[in-house]
Structure 1
Amino acid sequence: MMRAKACRPGRGRLGVVPPTSRGLRVHSREPVLNVPPSIAWMFAVLALVHVSRGLLTAEDDAWLVRAMGFIPARYTEAGHQLPGGATAAVTSFLTHMLLHGDLTHLLVNGAWLLAVGSPLARRIGALRLLGLGFVSGSAGALTFLAVNPGLAAPVVGASGAISGLMGALFRLIFATGDGPDRHLPREEPWNAPRLGLWATFTDRRALAAVVVWIVLNLVFASWLGGLLTNDGIAWEAHIGGFLAGLLTFGAFDTGPVKVTGASAGEEEGPFA
């Protein structure tokens, strides 16, 4: 997620057993990239949007960014003067995720989508993954709005949504820990237990990882933001999206849940 420090045209703020023969095991070759089709299609859409923008004039691209980007100033009295009007006040919660500031922004988000989205796509399927991403990305936009009311710079990028997928993945990773099932989130995510919501905030390792992730985002945004001349990192959207994914994953997941001790009686409700 990136944001512009100033409103500039076209820029936004940013287990298969190998076969055997004659008693000798013949190892089958694994593909270098085993990408779920839904993840490939998601990245293809993001890439297509970015490439298509290259066909526009600078003026038209600037209009598109302001019409599709998430702009806090849109929710002020003067918001109706921005491209997209009242319609964009609703649609920009989704459309800002389709735009990226530049090719590097797109490729970095694509790499993270591949890394954290692939195991979740195999576990919950494409539709639930899209739903989780939309909720997380929208929560990230709302968090940015709450911290920056009235800001006229557009926020663009899918990193708020991808941060939410990271938050969801935390609940699989820390459910297995260093035990014998630690390979499940990566190799068999559909069999990996999900750490219950209560357990997530009482497990010391999980809680420490959440805090470290948030702190690293703040530090990284501050450091990189000082290097960028035209764009900044919308850390607010990253953190808001991450927490949304962490908290709401249970509403999208139908896999097994791991509850322990006192948390067993607490893990109820749609978000557990």
Structure 2
Amino acid sequence: MDSPPDPSSERPPEPPREPILTLPGPLTAYIGLLAAIHVMWSSVPPDLEYWIIEAFGFIPKRYDPSLLATAFPGGSGAKVWTFVTYSLLHANLSHIGFNILWLLPFGSALARRFGGFRFFLFMAVAAVAGAAAHLVTHEHSIAPMIGASGSVSGAMAASIRFAFAQGSFLSFGRGDADAAAQVPALSLTRALQNPRVLAFLAVWFGINIIFGMGSIAIGSEPGSVAWQAHMGGFMAGLLLFSLFDPVPRPARDPDDASSGADHF
């Protein structure tokens, strides 16, 4: 007598789960772009290298409206494109390496959630916010600022809106990267009440204040850290995340509803 078929043998195989540490395509492309630009820039003669810094780095003095304003390469166009292009240049391997190291876990989560177009647009917006913060605090500085740290800081801030939520990357409850990237985000109010988010913010601000890891100003202030750009990018990522997020959230969080808190 034949034994009855095992029901489990008739189930369709589960789709393969993508490991958390596998880099998504948009992040791989972004890192590849940074690396390619750095390799090409590093291979040019010194005179051309510094011309590129002045034409594509962010120089606050470029926006000085006085009659004694300094003329920089790039003309009027550079007043527009340098709000983003500065984030694609890096001073050396350690500079680009630190930025990529910070970007790997948080940028991976964000790229999976946003997809390619939203991810690149978000990184550009965070770069603009970082440059704006630097301009406000260094109005007459002639030292070019370069580095992706404003964008990286924005990606880190945006990712904490969902990476600490139950079932996401930092909740220690998933091995499926794509599913972890699609969990509903926390409202800004809830995020700022989460102990792990608060601990992360304390560490992040502490690192920026104490070690100043990230963007570097080249020129009259060699090796100085543009930490204000980090703050600008970070605040943009934290506050503008919902404008980019394609994952719908419940209309009202139960905990927020009881306190009358709004969603952001």
Task: Compute the displacement of 1:210 (Å).
Answer: 2.5
CA contact (8 A) 2:19 2:175 kept: no
2:121 to 118, 127, 131: 131
Q: CA 1:248 to 1:116, structure 2 compared with 1: closer, same or farther past 3 Å?
A: same
The higher-RCO structure (CA 8 Å, 6+ apart) is 1
Is 1:35 matched with 2:17? no
CA contact (8 A) 1:191 1:256 kept: no
1:237 to 226, 229, 232: 229
Tell me, in whole angstroms, the C-alpha distance in 1 between the residues paired with 2:45 and 2:192.
Answer: 49
Q: CA 1:184 to 1:128, structure 2 compared with 1: closer, same or farther past 3 Å?
A: farther
Q: CA 1:129 to 1:83, structure 2 compared with 1: closer, same or farther past 3 Å?
A: same
1:143 counterpart residue number: 133
Over residues 156-177 of structure 1, what are the superposed CA-to-partner deviations in whole Å (9 max), with x where a residue is unaligned? 0111101100001111133339
Please tell me the residue identity of whatever aligns with 1:45.
Answer: L
For the residue of structure 2 that corresponds to 1:254, the secondary structure is coil
Is 1:155 matched with 2:129? no
TM-score, normalised with respect to structure 1: 0.77
Q: Which has the larger radius of gyration?
A: 2
For the residue of structure 2 that corresponds to 1:257, the secondary structure is coil
Tell me, in whole angstroms, the C-alpha distance in 2 between the residues paired with 1:263 and 1:214.
Answer: 30
1:206 counterpart residue number: 197
CA contact (8 A) 1:199 1:260 kept: no
Tell me, in whole angstroms, the C-alpha distance in 2 between the residues paired with 1:151 and 1:128.
Answer: 32
Tell me, in whole angstroms, the C-alpha distance in 1 between the residues paired with 2:167 and 2:173.
Answer: 9
2:89 counterpart residue number: 99
Task: Compute the displacement of 1:123 (Å).
Answer: 1.2
Task: Compute the displacement of 1:261 (Å).
Answer: 2.3
User: Structure 1 regions of 5+ residues with no counterpart?
Assistant: 1-19, 22-27
2:109 counterpart residue number: 119
1:197 counterpart residue number: 188
2:5 counterpart residue number: none
For the residue of structure 2 that corresponds to 1:66, the secondary structure is helix
RMSD (Å), alpha carbons: 3.1
Q: Percent identity?
A: 37
Over residues 7-60 of structure 1, what are the superposed CA-to-partner deviations in whole Å (9 max), with x where a residue is unaligned? xxxxxxxxxxxxx99xxxxxx998795111111111111111111112311011
CA contact (8 A) 1:168 1:246 kept: yes
Q: CA 1:33 to 1:184, structure 2 compared with 1: closer, same or farther past 3 Å?
A: closer
Tell me, in whole angstroms, the C-alpha distance in 2 between the residues paired with 1:209 and 1:107.
Answer: 21
Q: CA 1:68 to 1:263, structure 2 compared with 1: closer, same or farther past 3 Å?
A: farther
Q: CA 1:163 to 1:263, structure 2 compared with 1: closer, same or farther past 3 Å?
A: farther
User: Structure 2 regions of 5+ residues with no counterpart?
Assistant: 1-7, 10-15
Q: CA 1:124 to 1:183, structure 2 compared with 1: closer, same or farther past 3 Å?
A: farther
2:33 to 45, 61, 82: 45
**Which moves more between the two structures, 198-207 or 83-92?**
198-207
Please tell me the residue identity of whatever aligns with 1:137.
Answer: A
Is 1:108 matched with 2:98? yes
Task: Compute the displacement of 1:81 (Å).
Answer: 0.4
Tell me, in whole angstroms, the C-alpha distance in 1 between the residues paired with 2:248 and 2:172.
Answer: 15
Task: Compute the displacement of 1:149 (Å).
Answer: 1.0
Is 1:247 matched with 2:235? no
Over residues 176-206 of structure 1, what are the superposed CA-to-partner deviations in whole Å (9 max), with x where a residue is unaligned? 399x964359733333221112323344553
1:15 counterpart residue number: none
Q: Paired residues, what number?
A: 239
Tell me, in whole angstroms, the C-alpha distance in 2 between the residues paired with 1:92 and 1:157.
Answer: 12
For the residue of structure 2 that corresponds to 1:52, the secondary structure is helix
1:261 to 252, 255, 259: 255
